[in-house]
Amino acid sequence: MPSPHMSKMSEVDEEQLKLIFICCHPALNKQAQIALSLKVIGGLSTEKIASAFLTSEATMAQRLVLAKQKIKKAGIAFKLPATDDLASRVDIILSSIYFIHNESYVATNSNCLTRVNLADEAVNLCRNVCHFMPNNAEAKGLLALMLLQLARIEARVDVNSDFVPLELQDRNLWVSSKIFEGKQLSTKL
């Protein structure tokens, strides 16, 4: 049964929300949660997800297949979590989204300090959660955090792909719309 802190939603919206919860079910490991979220909610192709995480398409495809098999074998149902479980399940979703955001924000194996596509995907996933759970403060907080960090992404890295500290960043490269939205969200919390 939907809890008081979820607004009345259309059937289509509820189906989407169920999908989000399934993709981030605690029975799936983090890698599987992230791959499924990006594929099923984000609508990214397997190829794109693979390149974003610097793995082969075959590896990513296998990961997705195993995740779907697990959902079936373990009997993970297409439904919203019980009211008692809602908070902890939302936590899992947000931590997966934040993981995706961090993957883009900090250099891992790439030469370039940022991988912008994943950052946008994390924001979109979070927007989804905020849309379906408009009274959830944690989701709003995460969206604000990510937007404020993303606003400075162009200024973080110079022409040599070296890191530029905050004090020295060119304010003209900050995306003011993101800063505005981020601030708006955080003041509403």
**Member of 47, 85, 91, 158 binding other proteins (CB under 8 A):** 85
Provide, rounded to whole angstroms, the least separation between the CB of residue 59 and other proteins.
Answer: 16
**63 lies in the binding site for other proteins (CB under 8 A):** no
The one segment of 19-27, 51-59, 109-117, 149-157 that binds other proteins by CB under 8 A: 19-27
The one segment of 79-87, 93-101, 140-148, 174-182 that binds other proteins by CB under 8 A: 79-87
CB-based contact 101:122 (threshold 8 Å): yes
The two tokens of residue 132 are 């379906």
The two tokens of residue 140 are 């709003």
| Rounded Cα gap, residues 112 and 162, in angstroms | 8
The one segment of 5-13, 26-34, 114-122, 131-139 that binds other proteins by CB under 8 A: 26-34
Provide, rounded to whole angstroms, the least separation between the CB of residue 22 and other proteins.
Answer: 11
Among residues 15 and 47, whose Cβ is nearest to other proteins? Answer: 15
Among residues 36 and 119, whose Cβ is nearest to other proteins? Answer: 36
Any alpha helices (H) in 24-175, and if so which ranges? Answer: 30-36, 46-52, 57-74, 83-105, 116-132, 137-151, 153-156
From first CA to last CA, the distance across the chain in angstroms is 26
